[in-house]
Chains A and B, each alone.
Chain A
Amino acid sequence: MGGDDAELVRKHLSGDPDAFRALYEKYGEKVFASAYRIVGEYHAAADLVQEVFVKIHGELRTFKFESKFSTWLFRVAVNHALNRSSEVSRHARIHEKIVKDGRGDPGGTKEGRPVDDEVQRALQQLSPKLRTVISLRYLEGLSYEEIAEILEISIGTVKSRLFLAHETLRPLLKDVRLEGDA
């Protein structure tokens, strides 16, 4: 466990009111980014992050200091996101239909650059489990070992899921152009 994180957790447990906020400030955006990639909807991701931080606030007392805090946090967040993803996907499909029907944007999306939107659309074609490994690998930049520990699967399974995800993404991303591409 990272020294700073361990210290913040201990301070939180001894009643320091600023320690939990410091943990949020360090990891809130990262958890939000992963949640957004997994559930695919902006406001649902925000709700999910709120639920995750409230949950860990209550459960930090049971934290054993045997793993890194970040690993534990991402495990809680990913499991929560996977549990919620089917429900959110159903709402996202309804939302997409409303937008396509020209009935306006009910506020579930956030416009980004074209490449961001294309990647987000492509990722929604993956299963939640494949989206999760892609998100942890390329968004969070985690190693295969860290992903395996968070998801509690073998490194071989991480790589096979990544391989499958890339096979699905290839036709969807092949025409995406980045800034600077000819």
Chain B
Amino acid sequence: MTCETFRERAFDYLQGTLRGDADFEAHRASCASCAATLAGIRDNERVLRAARVPTAPPELWPRIAAAVGRERVVPFRRLRVASVFAAAAALLLAFTLVATVRSARRAPTLDLVVQEVGPDSQRAFRSLVPRYDDVDAATAMVDTMFRSDY
């Protein structure tokens, strides 16, 4: 057995799993360097196994729980329900945005109405009705117009 083979098998020997270790023992008896290496590893192992490490701080779990609480796992079956609600919410949001944009585009400002129709409530009303979604909105606009200083 070579010194290299001896070293490769040293850990198996130390944990008692080396089969047919007569060659190994023979090399140990004849090679002082390998015998010293093996003894050194054995001494190290004894010290390393005896050494202890401090315990984790008791506040570690509360810190972890607080951190993971912010990204709590949602089971798949709940995810399906949540996705339906999310789709409905997205649809509602989109509808609201479109309505707001359309309304802003249709509703003329008071200044523009006055410039267009002048101080004539009948013409103002006829002009405004097609631009609003309903008569009440046009009426309110005309009321505002004639209550103001225009």
Contact surface of A with B, Cβ cutoff 8 Å: 12-15, 20-21, 24-25, 28-29, 32-33, 36-37, 42, 45-46, 49-50, 53-54, 57-58, 60-61, 110, 112-113, 115-116, 119-120, 134, 138-139, 144, 156, 159, 162-163, 166-167, 169-170, 173-174, 176, 178
Contacts and interface: CB of A to CB of B under 8 A. Distances in A.
B61 A116 contact: no
A27 to B, nearest CB: 11
The 9 A-B pairs of least Cβ separation, nearest first, read A119-B51, A32-B56, A138-B48, A110-B54, A15-B75, A170-B40, A57-B68, A33-B53, A166-B41
Given A21-B61, A24-B61, A138-B48, A49 B43 contact: no
A166 B68 CA distance: 39
Interface of B: 7-8, 10-11, 37, 40-41, 43-57, 60-61, 63-65, 67-68, 71, 73-75, 78
Interface centre among A24, A58, A120, A166 (most CB of B within 10 A): A166
Contacts of B40: 166-167, 170, 174
A57 to B, nearest CB: 4
A29 B55 CA distance: 7
A42 B40 CA distance: 29
B23 to A, nearest CB: 18
Nearest to B10: A163
A176 B56 contact: no
A163 B7 contact: yes
A153 to B, nearest CB: 15
B71 A57 contact: yes
A139 B45 CA distance: 10
B68 A42 contact: no
A50 B60 contact: yes
A46 to B, nearest CB: 5
A167 B37 CA distance: 8
B63 A15 contact: no
B56 A159 contact: no
Contacts of A110: 54
14 contacts: A12-B73, A13-B73, A28-B56, A29-B56, A32-B56, A49-B64, A54-B64, A54-B67, A58-B68, A58-B71, A120-B53, A163-B10, A170-B40, A173-B44
B44 A54 contact: no
Nearest to B70: A54
Contact of A49 (B10, B37, B60): B60
Contacts of B46: 178
Given A49-B64, A50-B64, A178-B47, 8 more contacts: A120-B51, A138-B45, A139-B53, A144-B11, A162-B11, A173-B43, A178-B46, A178-B50
B76 to A, nearest CB: 8
Nearest to B49: A138
A144 B12 CA distance: 9
